[in-house]
Amino acid sequence: MRWHPRPWVFGAALAVAAGASLPFFLGAKVHPRRSFFEVTLAADAPGSAKVYYDLGSGFQEHDSVAQVLRGGTGASTYRFELPAGVYVGLRLDPLNHPGAASFSGARIVDSKGDVLRRFSAGDFAPTHDIDELHQDGAVVGIRTPPAGGNPYLLINTGGAFVLGLGLWERLAAALPAFLLVFAGVACVGSLLPEGAVRILRPGAGRWLVAGGVSLVALKLWLVAGQTISAVGPAAHDDRLFLEQAASLLAGRWLGPYSQFALMKGPMYPFFVAAVFLLGVPLFAAQHLLYALACWLVVRALRPLVPGRCLGAVLFAVLLFNPITFDGPRLMRVARQDLLPAEVLLLVAGFVALYARRAGPKRTLAPWAVLAASVLPAFWLTREDGVWLLPCVGILWAAAAAAVWFGRQPDRLARLALVALPALGWVAGMGAVSAVNFRHYGLFTTCEFRRPEFKAAYGALLRVEPAAWRIGVVVPREARERIYAVSPAFAELRPTLEGPVGEGWAAASQGMTHLPAADHEFAAGWFVWALRDAVTAAGHAHSGPEAMAFYARLAREVNTACDAGLLKGGPARTGFQPPLRRELLGPVWDSAVASSRLAFYFEGLTAYSSPSVGTPESLVLFSDLTRGRLAPTPDGAHLWPRERWLDGVRVRILQEIWIAYALAAPWAVPAGLLALLASVLVAAVRRRAVFLAIAGVALLASVCAMIAICALVDATSFYAADPMYLAGCYGPVLLLVFVGWLALAGAFRRNPR
């Protein structure tokens, strides 16, 4: 038999070997050592001690381990076993009853006693039911209030960390299987006679399609083990979207006018209603839409990417993006579920406009239609879509410039196709605004975009407080001064300073750290308190009436500021609080935290949070989603066999996330360095490389989203969270891939 070096055989061998070694990578058992949280603990009475660990879903009861506490007999050393994973936080509950306790020597060890991490006395922050805390050297002592039966302390871990197998240990476990399968497939494929090659070679494309379909089927089977985290009382989020979808299905548009009707973009209710009419479970439809987006990205890049194997790898990496099966965020019925797919669809559309600029117009037109359809849909999903403009703008400009300087005879027709997304955006936004005008008398897609509402909120932010406090934009003392000079705002006083306002002040406590009785609102909640107050005052029976009131409020407050009756800064509009030098530190800290979440895939988990609400409030969720709801803490649980199978599938998803979290700290910086090098090489050689341009565009939008989240997190509400960064994870994965391809293209003699 003769050896035939065939490049496609090595590509196929690489793909088969990677798939065959993946189970060894995910389920690696290089050594049997386990991890434990060890602490020397003493208490004044018997009971139990518990350690909670946050693997990305917060501190949950199922993510904890307890030990029986021997009280009154002196200090003893306790070990709490910790599972393998990426840890976001730790919490120590030193006792479960009123009394006193002391502890020291907290550390994480393995089964051989080797110390993995140490914690000092200063790493423990008293958080709940602790009346007194004192330190005597390395010993920490606490005492609870007389009725405090649940004391706990948060542990400063210095950021996320990994317990269990690391990246190199997993690679070592998978390497033998990878090499064996790769060598076998490569040898057999290279020794095949030409007759067999003629049979197999034409089907290479079909094999890739079959592999892609199998991967999609595998992911659908895995995510079917997750349950939906239904939040029945979420009138401003989850429940609102379902009620609006139900109104659409009943032919009543978004329902009767109220402060909720035009509160948020309507795209997600549109999607829920359309999927319900198709008879497809909502979350299965979301995963299928995301799989379609991954495939279209690969198709869009095909003219720019050599070979199909790289495209197949990119498809697999994008498909199993961990944010798409994150339990606490994307297993909720909320609009962030659409963002990963929408962002990739837009990137695919605008990349294809460049990549197919010189081909037949019939191949260019479908991609222009795709971008023209998804652009308004993305804009109607959330109100912070401005973060994607750098990416869209750069890719769009590159495509238009390439068509213009291509000087083809029909370049005006091609430019018209490239400009089609702008027409689609105008048409989509205009159509929704026109229907809203017919039903509510307001030509807008969302009231937060109305100039009257933005002017009223900006006028209130203009008033300077007597004492500035981070997170509080219109403190109570400033409101009292505004009541005295603005009759419109004075009408809101009974609500803002009454029970409704106290409810929003209670919701703000995590940000303000003030009791609800003080009636201080964090910026992220004041806007909702204001809208509720306007409704309670009887000024929101219709859209025009509400906007007229907001216009009057803005006019009165601005007039008072201009006349010197209120001390205020320059006239402003919109929702951004005034920036101060004191915010630099918090903004930087939030930016670092958001960057770690976005680039390193920290803080995610495949485990769903429990549902919240009464059985009656959850009926709408099970009806419109056609899915299984996560049980409430006191509700019925799954059947044993179902729980076992779901546990297997969710554990596999959890392992996939851990693999991404382990690889990201290596892969993302390397991809960014490759992108930087490609830009420098292209600049030196005076050659524009589109993939480098695309990489810069993706990076610019990810950084824009991180900046927005950091600013909001420091000034308004907790926004350094994967829920708000959901659209960034796909571009980050694509950025790593594009960075290396751009570097190769920069050195290529005739770059594509």
Residues of the chain with pLDDT under 70: 1-12, 22, 25-33, 56-58, 73, 159-160, 164-169, 188-207, 634-642, 748-752
Q: Which residue has the tokens 């495209």?
A: 311
What pLDDT, on a 0 to 100 scale, did the predictor assign at position 297? 95
- Answer whether 247's CB lies under 8 Å from 350's CB: no
Is 213 a domain residue?
no
Distance of alpha carbon 527 from the chain centroid = 23
Return the SS3 of 67: strand
601 and 514 share a domain? no
364 and 242 share a domain? yes
What pLDDT, on a 0 to 100 scale, did the predictor assign at position 349? 94
Which tens digits make up the pLDDT trace of 576-604? 888 888 888 889 988 998 998 999 998 88
* CA separation for the pair 690, 671 (Å, rounded): 16
Residues in the chain: 752
What pLDDT, on a 0 to 100 scale, did the predictor assign at position 409? 82
382 and 277 share a domain? yes
Distances (CA, A) of 286 to 138, 325, 370, 699, 721: 51, 11, 17, 25, 21
Q: Which of these, 444, 464, 446, 462, lies nearest to 553 by C-alpha position?
A: 462
Range of the domain at 103: 35-163
What pLDDT, on a 0 to 100 scale, did the predictor assign at position 752? 47
Residue ending a domain, among 141, 163, 185, is 163
599 and 709 share a domain? yes
Q: Could you give the number of structural domains in the chain?
A: 3
* CA separation for the pair 287, 529 (Å, rounded): 35
* CA separation for the pair 387, 169 (Å, rounded): 38
Is 728 a domain residue?
yes
The rounded radius of gyration (Å) of the Cα atoms in the chain is 29
What pLDDT, on a 0 to 100 scale, did the predictor assign at position 239? 92
Tokens standing for 299?
């198709």
What pLDDT, on a 0 to 100 scale, did the predictor assign at position 30? 47
Q: Which of these, 743, 748, 747, 741, lies nearest to 304 by C-alpha position?
A: 741
* CA separation for the pair 700, 708 (Å, rounded): 12
Task: Report, in this order, helix, strand and coil percent for the chain, each rounded to 5.
Answer: 60, 10, 30
265 and 342 share a domain? yes
Residues ≥6 apart with Cβ < 8 Å to 679? 692, 696, 742
What pLDDT, on a 0 to 100 scale, did the predictor assign at position 194? 61
- Answer whether 433's CB lies under 8 Å from 736's CB: no
Which tens digits make up the pLDDT trace of 103-144? 998 999 887 788 888 888 888 888 778 888 888 778 888 888
**How many other β-carbons are positioned within 10 Å of the β-carbon of residue 210?**
11
Is 178 a domain residue?
no
- Answer whether 551's CB lies under 8 Å from 470's CB: no
Residue ending a domain, among 163, 181, 205, is 163
Is 686 a domain residue?
yes
552 and 608 share a domain? no
544 and 623 share a domain? no
Is 76 a domain residue?
yes
Residues ≥6 apart with Cβ < 8 Å to 6? 189, 190, 197
* CA separation for the pair 698, 676 (Å, rounded): 13
Residue ending a domain, among 138, 163, 188, is 163
602 and 561 share a domain? no
Is 423 a domain residue?
no
622 and 728 share a domain? yes
Tokens standing for 316?
């697999």
* CA separation for the pair 602, 658 (Å, rounded): 9
Q: What is the pTM of this model?
A: 0.82
What pLDDT, on a 0 to 100 scale, did the predictor assign at position 503? 86
391 and 248 share a domain? yes
227 and 340 share a domain? yes
280 and 343 share a domain? yes
Is 327 a domain residue?
yes
Tokens standing for 700?
């610019």
**CATH number for position 155:** 2.60.60
Is 613 a domain residue?
yes
